[in-house]
Structure 1
């Protein structure tokens, strides 16, 4: 036991003993003046609370001290030795019985935070303990010539009322949580308690008005301002005042002739009703305040969790942006120079085959990076659809053409089928639809070793548009039912064992689901093990009013005769960019940083600027703003961001700085040709619709 605990127990036991002695003297003095009837016995509740709050050894010591005090008092007032010892034994036994029952009924903590707990304490603890002691006391009192019934009723009413007030009041006084929401200034507490004492005194005056009724609103005010503890202390003050006056009143209010027992019962009833109504009111108010505090705490926790989630999301975004930049920068050289070398005619066949393997490996790595970034965008709700008039048939044919080479290498038969008006133009984001199709078709080819892969497109006319249903069917191993349910979850794969033969991030189908739901559709799978699988998705589309947007064919396009300013701080990226632009027929002007870019833009007369974003001295955003501020031709020249940071935040920052579009690294000849064709064909740098 620590010194602090020892001093606490000493102070508590001393306080209990002193309070017991004072309340005992008060009650016994009333008993002497009240023809042997104890108007109210407060000491039992105080000692019972001491038994509950103190360790067993300290409780026994306190009980011994209380017995000694009461025994000595009885001897001083002239009681016989046997009676002087019997009555302390009865009252202390009553308190011990109440404490034992309280632990059995209400548990060790004794947290009186609701009226149901208080009711259990009163009905299952106070009532049985005081009733049993009343019976024993009535038997003893008959030895001294007292009436059994009078003693029984007087003892039970006085002791039960006193313990009903003092036991919960004492437990509430030592609980700091009972006053947490009812802290008031000492001045206000003194005024309220003094008002209760004064009104209790006035209520017994022989006035022809039911003054005791005024105690009810006063006790309600006490409950609102001071809570359960205030209600208990107020009832205790009322009990002391009324008990003191009941034995000295010459006659009750109204002039009626009441016996002492009748007056005692009436005031006991008044005290009990006031106590329990005010305590019930205080408990309800305390519960409301506790619920508000809990709600406020949960709100703070939710806000803190939201802040942490936002911080985590921001950290994730920054991490993905950094990793994207760091991975794409070297990949730009790997993929770009591989494409350039594959276009050479003087390569020996073994070298061409090895370069093709490098190209496939780079494409696979790029797919992994793109999957992670795409999933991050879908999960964060940052994907924005760009609907335009498209021909669904053309989208399906384009997707099949892209995967045709992969299917040919595996010896698979590609089939394409159409049902319904698939050539009618509709409003859709063709890039996102094609992304879903390519993911499903690539998976089907990857997991099918022999047989066929078939794509079916069905257009279903509806009153408000067209429902497009795509089905990709393969003759692969199929998907077990227990795995099908988790295929569309993030980082989930049909085969996650160490012996799996196919790689992947497990994000492709999750991205497909996110994009499909974003377009208002749904996606699913139908499969039986060993019988292939059918992945399907359907999306609603509005009918298009305008013409279908046709994509330019790079193979058919003439070489680009344009002066392009290429700005990049990385020497390898500048060499690669210059090589690719030369292959496309462009005259290239090089700049290593933003300052050189601003100077070159003033003097070179370039037709288009490819601007890296992350550069020392002056970054691409600042350089773009400086070029736009030059005015004239520089204010209208198309500026295309070319960066390994392809996060939505960076793309938005590029547009705000004055750039026209953004293209991500690694540089791919086809993608770069498309961008140049689009913007060089639009003088003034007006973005294409």
Structure 2
């Protein structure tokens, strides 16, 4: 925002008066034999006016100062020619300094660091004063003055005066340059009075070297009032010290110095004191600025973290709700379809139609599972459960799962194994099978004719085996430029709306995440029209023996258990009862948590299948109340059965006292496996008791 006219007026008047006083002071007290003043602060004031004021204010002020400079010179005895030459050289020097300062330090001219001050001095003050010194020495030789004397005196007086006055005035006038110096006015007034008194005492001619007290005073002001305070103190020191020193012939050491020597000595002291204090003040201000920046960035980071946590929580809640809403109707579709497909009295056409329904439901379930799996991997909630397996057996089991899909398309499904593929290794077979199924399913989906081949190589090195799986197809292939993005989320080789093959675009991203989670790597080699080769490698520790999984699904009727099914949805209760009856269980139904607690207490059930989201009393509260009944209810197997399969919900179920969780839609074999395991454990525990 540009300065207000009132501020411009005050600044113009102040700088003009300061320039006039400085001219009279320098010419009256320090004018030497060459006609050049030994101390010259005026040009720093004039250069500051060019930098601080807009042109419509600085030009009239410059003209007025020119006339005052010329008049003061004539008043103090300068000849007409020299009296005119001096103001011209002064104004040229001041203007050149201002122009170079803007080039070196930018338009704002904010001296917020020692680096900026150094750039101002080195790239503006020194070149301008050096050039004006040479010109002044040349001009004054026309009037019989010594070139060397004028050159040294001018450069010293103008250069050091400019170096002191210009930064000081910029810091004093531009209070917005450094904002961290504010103190209460009594403290500021007291410190400046102390500085004035110290300046008088420091240059009182006594035998003790009292000027040393200047440094602690300037340091104190730098600490308390920051750069602007140091600038004000330097100007006070310059005014007091030059008046006292130039008015006496004796120094603190007792030696008698010439006017030029005393002037240079006091300017050195003022310059060293000012720049020492300024460096201290700028370092402190910079530290404060860094602390504010750190605090600001910390607040921003915390706010971003809070937003990320909130977004993650919202995403989890959204996925949980969507999962529940999608899986609830799918439970009926897939569950009843599986029940009907097990009937042997259906016509062939009806069985074929049920098969189509089952495939469509499975495809939709795969989409939901892909989204949930990717969400788990992004939040770091996927945990591996390694166990001893045989790589060849696991690969063959996976091929058996996709064999029917390959057969329907007329594809030749091949398998080859090399190396020690029967050597047991420790791996999470479920996650490994998930990767293989995804790659094999994609190969079958994108291959219309020819073959799909799985190659397994196992190389034992020390106490680990390097497993390499390669899935090769003769399908459509992938262009090289599109292959690099296939393992990114929501990416597909054909991203157009007319693509023939569906999918979420998450499958390969999930494969990549799971492979890397197991410490492996994954890649592909493909060319459009020549098929694709997907491969992944995983290092697996060797195992002693293979953990044998349960051998298939028991025959219907083998479970022989009394199961309490708790679900508020009538269709889910009907489906659950049908499936449990198919598995040979006696079913007790409850439609809310309160009924479940009563049934668990009175019905003598062997296991409870508990829905989580229910009105009146949810499954978590019902589980806690059942556990609180004590006795057999304290150890009764309680299995959560919910469409909400997010990790947070599973953790809450286990914390409430449930033993395990199965997701909806109900899949008969998966449900059978969970029931069989917990019923066996409960019976073993009862027999031991």
TM-score (norm 2): 0.91
Report the more deviating stretch, 520-529 or 134-143: 134-143
For the Cα contact (< 8 Å) 1:34–1:260, is it kept in 2?
no
Residue matched to 1:620: 619
Counterparts of 1:16-415 in structure 2, within 5 Å, are 16-31=15-30, 38-67=37-66, 90-133=89-132, 153-176=152-175, 178-415=177-414
Report the more deviating stretch, 47-56 or 102-111: 102-111
Residue matched to 1:473: 472
Residue matched to 1:633: 632
| Secondary structure of 2:4 counterpart | helix
Using the TM superposition, give the Cα deviation of residue 126 of structure 1 relative to its aligned residue in structure 2, in angstroms.
2.3
Aligned equivalents of 2:53, 2:683: Cα separation in 1: 89
Aligned equivalents of 1:518, 1:263: Cα separation in 2: 78
Report the more deviating stretch, 400-409 or 299-308: 299-308
Aligned equivalents of 2:533, 2:31: Cα separation in 1: 98
Aligned residues: 686
| Secondary structure of 2:417 counterpart | strand
Using the TM superposition, give the Cα deviation of residue 630 of structure 1 relative to its aligned residue in structure 2, in angstroms.
0.9
Aligned equivalents of 1:540, 1:139: Cα separation in 2: 85
| Secondary structure of 1:416 counterpart | strand
Aligned equivalents of 1:204, 1:659: Cα separation in 2: 89
Q: Structure 2 stretches of 5 or more lacking a match?
A: none
Using the TM superposition, give the Cα deviation of residue 656 of structure 1 relative to its aligned residue in structure 2, in angstroms.
0.1
For the Cα contact (< 8 Å) 2:567–2:592, is it kept in 1?
yes
CA change 1:537–1:239 in 2 (3 A) is same
1:11 aligns with 2:6: no
Using the TM superposition, give the Cα deviation of residue 203 of structure 1 relative to its aligned residue in structure 2, in angstroms.
3.8
For the Cα contact (< 8 Å) 2:623–2:656, is it kept in 1?
yes
Aligned equivalents of 1:591, 1:532: Cα separation in 2: 54
CA change 1:628–1:213 in 2 (3 A) is same
Residue matched to 2:510: 511
Report the more deviating stretch, 464-473 or 28-37: 28-37
Using the TM superposition, give the Cα deviation of residue 626 of structure 1 relative to its aligned residue in structure 2, in angstroms.
0.8
Report the more deviating stretch, 343-352 or 124-133: 124-133
Using the TM superposition, give the Cα deviation of residue 520 of structure 1 relative to its aligned residue in structure 2, in angstroms.
1.5
Partner deviation per Cα, 1:542-599 (whole Å, 9 max, x = no partner): 2334551322311546442222111111122112111211222222221111111111
Aligned equivalents of 1:34, 1:595: Cα separation in 2: 111
Aligned equivalents of 2:530, 2:456: Cα separation in 1: 21
For the Cα contact (< 8 Å) 2:204–2:244, is it kept in 1?
no
For the Cα contact (< 8 Å) 2:563–2:588, is it kept in 1?
yes
1:604 aligns with 2:603: yes
Using the TM superposition, give the Cα deviation of residue 322 of structure 1 relative to its aligned residue in structure 2, in angstroms.
1.0
Residue matched to 1:683: 682
For the Cα contact (< 8 Å) 1:179–1:226, is it kept in 2?
no
Aligned equivalents of 1:242, 1:34: Cα separation in 2: 22
For the Cα contact (< 8 Å) 1:467–1:539, is it kept in 2?
yes
Partner deviation per Cα, 1:272-322 (whole Å, 9 max, x = no partner): 233334334444444444344434433333332222222211111111111
Counterparts of 1:467-546 in structure 2, within 5 Å, are 467-545=466-544
Partner deviation per Cα, 1:10-68 (whole Å, 9 max, x = no partner): 33323323433444444344347999663433332223212112211121233244446
Aligned equivalents of 1:153, 1:275: Cα separation in 2: 23
For the Cα contact (< 8 Å) 2:478–2:526, is it kept in 1?
yes
Residue matched to 1:583: 582
Partner deviation per Cα, 1:247-291 (whole Å, 9 max, x = no partner): 211312222232111211222222223333433444444444434
Report the more deviating stretch, 526-535 or 399-408: 526-535
Q: Structure 1 stretches of 5 or more lacking a match?
A: none
For the Cα contact (< 8 Å) 1:47–1:63, is it kept in 2?
yes
For the Cα contact (< 8 Å) 2:323–2:368, is it kept in 1?
yes
For the Cα contact (< 8 Å) 1:467–1:540, is it kept in 2?
yes
> Cα RMSD between the aligned structures?
3.1
TM-score (norm 1): 0.91
For the Cα contact (< 8 Å) 2:249–2:257, is it kept in 1?
no
Aligned equivalents of 2:511, 2:134: Cα separation in 1: 81
Residue matched to 1:570: 569
